[in-house]
Structure 1
């Protein structure tokens, strides 16, 4: 998460949406750069609202614009699956090294889901709070250049994103029946992504 006091801007870091590259490019320009631990770096709206917003409003002021990036849900889950195939996770409960993407999605659809598929939901991450705290603008990961152009304009900077945190290639095919179950179970995620301009 990055907070820019002069621009009155908060950039939330939805996992697996290219925000690590944005943070590497812009952390040095931010008033506050929360890069670690992951629970704070990737603070969803509810955590920002509870822990960060009171501090920001007290010391910077109200009416901060909050932006985020969202990825097409199936692609997002594919990125998690590929990321968790990395050798350093081998033998741990979160490793996906010995399973197919279909196995990963089957796990994701379980309640409760196993550790390897416990990655949350982008819709839940971005869910508005009852007090009105919400994301003002969501950019599609698939058009990340639009987010970069917006940030360049807001921050009066030229931004060159580094290529970081790239997951290994892996087959991401699913049977149609499993795609349908995923779309039904994760309807909020697919609806939110489809609503983005």
Structure 2
């Protein structure tokens, strides 16, 4: 999570959406950089609202806009799947060695997810708090140019990013019945991603996750 007090902007780090690359590029400009532990670095809306928002609004003296990036759900799960195939994951319960991508996604859609497929949901990460705290600017991961234009305008600087923490390899295609199951189970995630337009505009947030 990055906080830019002068720009009145908070950049939430949704996992597997390139947040590490932006952290490396923008940390020198940030008033506050939360890079560890993971539960704070990747603080979702509800955690931001509970622990960070009151402090920031008190000391900055204004309400902060909240920026986040959302990735197409199949691609997002593919990144998780490949990330957990790294050699250093060998022997861990979260590893996906010996598991096909279809098996990973079916496990994700199951009622009780095994450890290796328990990666949360982007719609749950960004679900608005009861007091109305929500992301005010959402960009698709696939629209890096739009995101950079927004950040350069808001932070009044030029930005260059380098790929970081990239999951190895390529994601295999899903069998049609597996993708159909995912689209039913993760309907809120697909709806959220599809609602995002250009320049951070998006439709009404709906989540039943």
Q: TM-score range by the shorter chain?
A: over 0.9
Deviation string, structure 1 residues 27-65 (Cα, Å, up to 9, x no partner) = 111000000111000000000001101111111123211
Q: How many residues matched?
A: 197
Partner in structure 1 of residue 204 of structure 2: none
Partner in structure 2 of residue 88 of structure 1: 88
Partner in structure 2 of residue 64 of structure 1: 64
Partner in structure 2 of residue 151 of structure 1: 151
Q: CA deviation at 1:170?
A: 3.7
> TM-score, normalised on structure 1?
0.98
Q: CA deviation at 1:171?
A: 4.2
Tell me, yes or no, if the aligned pair for 2:8 and 2:63 is still in contact at 8 Å: yes
For 1:70-81, list aligned pairs within 5 A: 70-81=70-81
Partner in structure 1 of residue 176 of structure 2: 176
Deviation string, structure 1 residues 85-127 (Cα, Å, up to 9, x no partner) = 0001111000002110011111111222011011000000011
Partner in structure 2 of residue 196 of structure 1: 196
CA distance in 2 between partners of 1:165 and 1:2 (Å): 17
Q: Structure 1 stretches (4+) deviating beyond 6 angstroms?
A: none
CA distance in 2 between partners of 1:146 and 1:128 (Å): 23
Q: CA deviation at 1:172?
A: 1.8
CA distance in 1 between partners of 2:99 and 2:140 (Å): 29
Per the alignment, in what secondary structure is the counterpart of residue 180 of structure 1? helix
Q: What is the CA RMSD across the aligned residues, in angstroms?
A: 0.9
CA distance in 2 between partners of 1:171 and 1:127 (Å): 27
Partner in structure 1 of residue 206 of structure 2: none
Q: CA deviation at 1:194?
A: 0.6
CA distance in 2 between partners of 1:172 and 1:39 (Å): 29
CA distance in 1 between partners of 2:177 and 2:52 (Å): 42
> TM-score, normalised on structure 2?
0.92
Per the alignment, in what secondary structure is the counterpart of residue 3 of structure 2? strand
CA distance in 2 between partners of 1:7 and 1:174 (Å): 41
1:163 is aligned to 2:185: no
CA distance in 2 between partners of 1:135 and 1:144 (Å): 18
